[in-house]
Amino acid sequence: MTPARILTIAGSDCSGGAGLQADLKTITMLGGYGMSAITAITAQNTRGVFAVEPLSPEMVAAQINACLDDIGVDAVKIGMLGSAAITHIVADRLERIAAPVVFDPVMVATSGGLLADADTVAAFDRMMALAALTTPNLPELEALGGEAVIRAKTQALLIKGGHGEGAVIENRLISPHGEHIFTSERIDTRHTHGTGCTLASAIATGLGQGMALPEAVKRAGDFVHAALLAAPGFGAGHGPLGHQAVRL
């Protein structure tokens, strides 16, 4: 069977735990064909983000065009965008395609490093408008104006509950077809670097494979849960997930 073609537009994490590295691992493990358009180079590890260098908007656009014009795409995942100018040029390109887009509005790394300035966040409205799904965590939801504001700007909204409290994590999917709630047992671990990237790219892979949105979200959540349990224990801070050990 020909694999679904999944394009991740995201920043590079040199330590391999998050960003496009986590995306490509996830896409591959779920049976997709991964492609990437790098928006920014970061120097980071489990302890923090030490340097960020965005690429030029023209280079980001050239990468997207190279993938779309030759191989094609079945779904797109958007993560760290790097600048407002990159955000707008990515929107210009994606407004021309019909493939579903999953937008993870990355602002802060798990370790606390800032990954989006105020101008970039202001440009997120264009991403939300073209996205089939926007996936904020609780701090991002608040920073973007709250549930009602985001629901008015995007086709569907997945509110991730990992930053909440309690023994059970609740993710809420809100779409024109109603609301679905997905729950999972909270895992007591510091190895959570890249969970948002992994979830969003897993959802995009499911949509590219023809899954309905609730089905794609459910499988993605199961994948993240399994990858948390399989974390290899690397690093002194927020360690990476164990993508390579997951078999669903």
For residue 199, count other CB atoms closer than 10 A to its CB. Answer: 28
**196 has catalytic annotation:** yes
**67 has catalytic annotation:** no
**195 has catalytic annotation:** yes
* CB-CB contact of 106 with 22 (8 Å): no
**26 has catalytic annotation:** no
Strand ranges inside the chain, DSSP E: 5-13, 33-45, 48-54, 75-78, 101-103, 133-134, 157-159, 168-175, 178-185
* From 192, 206, 218, 239, the catalytic residue: 192
* From 11, 17, 19, 194, the catalytic residue: 194
* From 25, 77, 160, 218, the catalytic residue: 160
* From 134, 135, 195, 198, the catalytic residue: 195
* From 17, 46, 79, 197, the catalytic residue: 197
For residue 229, count other CB atoms closer than 10 A to its CB. Answer: 14
**160 has catalytic annotation:** yes
φ/ψ of residue 155, rounded to 5:
-70, -45
For residue 139, count other CB atoms closer than 10 A to its CB. Answer: 11
* From 161, 196, 206, 221, the catalytic residue: 196
Active site (catalytic) residues = 160, 192, 194-197
